[in-house]
Amino acid sequence: MSRETRTKRKEVEKARRDKMSELMRDYDETVFYPALKAVKAECADVGHGSKHNHDNGLGWNFITCLDCGAMLEKHGPNGELIKP
CB of 5 to Zn ion, least distance (A): 43
Min separation Cβ 7 and Zn ion, Å: 40
- Residue 58 is which amino acid? L
Residue 60 CB, shortest distance to Zn ion, in Å, is 20
* C-alpha distances out from residue 33 to 8, 18, 41, 44, 54, Å: 32, 18, 12, 16, 23
Q: How many CB atoms lie within 10 A of CB 51?
A: 12
Amino acid (1-letter code) at residue 84 = P
Name which of residues 42 to 81 contact Zn ion (CB under 5 A). Answer: 43, 48, 65, 67-68, 70
Q: Judged by CB, which is closer to Zn ion: 20, or 66?
A: 66
Closer to Zn ion by CB, 27 or 32: give it: 32
Cα distance between residue 16 and residue 71, in whole Å: 28
Nearest CB to Zn ion, comparing residues 23 and 66: 66
For Zn ion, the binding residues (CB under 5 A) are: 43, 48, 65, 67-68, 70
